[in-house]
Structure 1
Amino acid sequence: MDPSASLSAPHAIRKMIKDGDYTGPTKGFVPGFTQCNVIILPQSEAYSFFRFCESNQSVCKLIIPPSEPGNFNFDTLGKDIDIRYHLPKYQILKHGQLAQECHNIEEHWRDDLVTFAFASYLSFDNLLAQYGINPPSANPTTPLPLYISNLPCNSVDKYEANQILAMRPLTKQNLISAIQAATLSRLPYALPLHFGEPNEVGIKDLSKPNFGEPLTCKEGQLPVFWGSSLTAQLAIAKAAPEFCIMNSPHHLLVTDRQDLELAVTK
């Protein structure tokens, strides 16, 4: 199934995912509805990780509070959401290393697991399009290039990482419009953290992103960098908790919440 031919209702997409009829990336589905990255940790790890996220909201913005231990229903994101089944692909990590990928986590579920849901850059891409700015990342088949910067996060206990930045090439006029859109909307990850010289944030070669696909800055464009919630996954890999579940890259949770709701939350 091609994301460009997405169904019109988030719950219909989730049903296809739960039934095993779709297991691919979710980028391009129902623009205007929020998609989120998911990390699931044992309760013993959850408080330190939550404090890490709260201390680094420019790259680790939670869209709802963490779940209660063992709770797999997310009514605040969608009335039927069961976190065990509604992501198209999951990664199981043990001591920070990928142990398995799967399409549901029923057999891995534990009563002590706490779920975290993070905002993604897709919401801001949709907003940019409304302002007449169509970055290459707006293409459903084009993932943003992501770079590990030299900007340190605020560490909490064993959780630490450098910030991961997403790059969009923009003209100076589009950059001004993007900042205006970010200021008015207050969407997560909307304000850029850096623009211009990549070396200033430790990025040596734009053609070699750590994740995603490279995008070329054409004449008149400059690289603009925003925070990415992939930073949270990097912190997990470095902290190496004994057990963790997260969504596979580009396989996000499609929710019933509209991006506009994120724009008016604190």
Structure 2
Amino acid sequence: MSAPLTPSQLRARVRSGEHTGNTSGYCEGFVQANVAILPKDWAAEFLQFCQLNPKPCPIVGMAAQPGDTNIEGIGPDFDIRTDVPSYRLWKNGELTGEVNDISDIWTEDLVTFLIGCSFSFEEALLADGLEIRNLSEGRNVPMYNTNLACRPAGRFHGNMVVSMRPFKPVDAIRMIQICSRFPSVHGAPVHFGDPAAIGIADINQVDYGDSVTINDGEYPVFTACGVTPQAAIMAAKPPFCITHSPGCMVVTDLPNSRLAIL
């Protein structure tokens, strides 16, 4: 069996185009992050939106200056223009395309935000013996729009997006206990049980990612998701911005242990 990839090795594969898919299950022990890149005249409002909504939008890194392509602590070789497996391009709140490299559209007024991802706490769940269904089935985690309103900030507003993992009740309780130790990557779940209570009409119809099997005796457990900023971007309609494609994260050199509350 080959040795697991380091974050730097995986970023190199992303940069070369060898890896273009989701990053769940890669680089055990290291923080993964969602991406939002906005023009500098929208950045302050977006930062405030994240600060007012730390559950779905916990910031784990931010460019020091507009135009910066590296972020301190993420990795000495990190380049936001090439190191995300798939980017989404937005104009006036509308998705216009997905690409694997943004070098040719990068401008010096863009500000990068990295937002905590639930993939980071999956490692702790696995270590405790819990099955993560999207990993065991080799799928992207299922994600859904909800009716849970975020606190608005300037032009940014919208409802929370959640990711879902099914568990038996006893395992769901343990999952809640474990995730509570990771507030920087969404923390404890926001809902457990009936999807309709948070505005999800059909659990088998995902808004992002892939559906997974929910076995008899299992219940869906919903965690705040870093795709939430994309919903806020759709509502705010900035003239241009860039995000990650759902499930396609920045894999950082930051150890997950730094984010845990012991």
Relative to the length of structure 2, the TM-score reads 0.92
Matches of 2:137 and 2:35 in 1, distance apart?
Answer: 20
Letter in 2 for 1:45: W
In the TM superposition, what is the alpha-carbon distance from 1:21 to its structure 2 partner? 3.0
The answer to whether residue 36 in structure 2 is matched with residue 20 in structure 1 is no
In the TM superposition, what is the alpha-carbon distance from 1:85 to its structure 2 partner? 1.4
1:168 aligned residue: 165
The answer to whether residue 170 in structure 2 is matched with residue 178 in structure 1 is no
The 8 Å contact of residues 61 and 71 in structure 2, kept in 1 or not, is answered as: no
1:126 aligned residue: 123
Cα gap change, 1:183 to 1:263, in 2 (>3 Å): same
The 8 Å contact of residues 141 and 247 in structure 2, kept in 1 or not, is answered as: no
Which segment drifts farther, 192-201 or 38-47?
192-201
Matches of 2:137 and 2:37 in 1, distance apart?
Answer: 26
1:146 aligned residue: 143
Matches of 1:258 and 1:90 in 2, distance apart?
Answer: 24
Cα gap change, 1:199 to 1:23, in 2 (>3 Å): closer
Cα gap change, 1:184 to 1:115, in 2 (>3 Å): closer
- 2:98 counterpart SS class: strand
1:89 aligned residue: 86
Match 1:59 to one of 56, 68, 88: 56
The 8 Å contact of residues 208 and 246 in structure 2, kept in 1 or not, is answered as: no
Unaligned runs of 5+ in 2: none
RMSD value, Cα: 2.0
Which segment drifts farther, 94-103 or 173-182?
94-103
2:259 aligned residue: 262
Matches of 1:149 and 1:6 in 2, distance apart?
Answer: 39
The 8 Å contact of residues 36 and 254 in structure 1, kept in 2 or not, is answered as: yes
Letter in 1 for 2:180: T
The answer to whether residue 219 in structure 2 is matched with residue 222 in structure 1 is yes
- 2:61 counterpart SS class: coil
Residues 44-94 of structure 1 show CA distances to partners (whole Å, capped at 9, x for unaligned) of 000011101111111111112444211111231111111111112222211
Relative to the length of structure 1, the TM-score reads 0.91
How high is the sequence identity, in percent, across the aligned residues? 34
Match 2:240 to one of 235, 240, 243: 243
Which segment drifts farther, 80-89 or 16-25?
16-25
Which segment drifts farther, 181-190 or 48-57?
181-190
In the TM superposition, what is the alpha-carbon distance from 1:101 to its structure 2 partner? 2.6
Cα gap change, 1:185 to 1:48, in 2 (>3 Å): closer
Cα gap change, 1:198 to 1:24, in 2 (>3 Å): closer
Cα gap change, 1:20 to 1:216, in 2 (>3 Å): closer
1:195 aligned residue: 192
Cα gap change, 1:184 to 1:103, in 2 (>3 Å): closer
Aligned residue pair count: 262
- 1:63 counterpart SS class: strand
The 8 Å contact of residues 137 and 143 in structure 1, kept in 2 or not, is answered as: yes
Matches of 1:138 and 1:37 in 2, distance apart?
Answer: 18
1:73 aligned residue: 70
Matches of 2:13 and 2:192 in 1, distance apart?
Answer: 40
Letter in 2 for 1:134: E
Letter in 1 for 2:22: P
- 2:180 counterpart SS class: helix
Matches of 2:38 and 2:53 in 1, distance apart?
Answer: 18
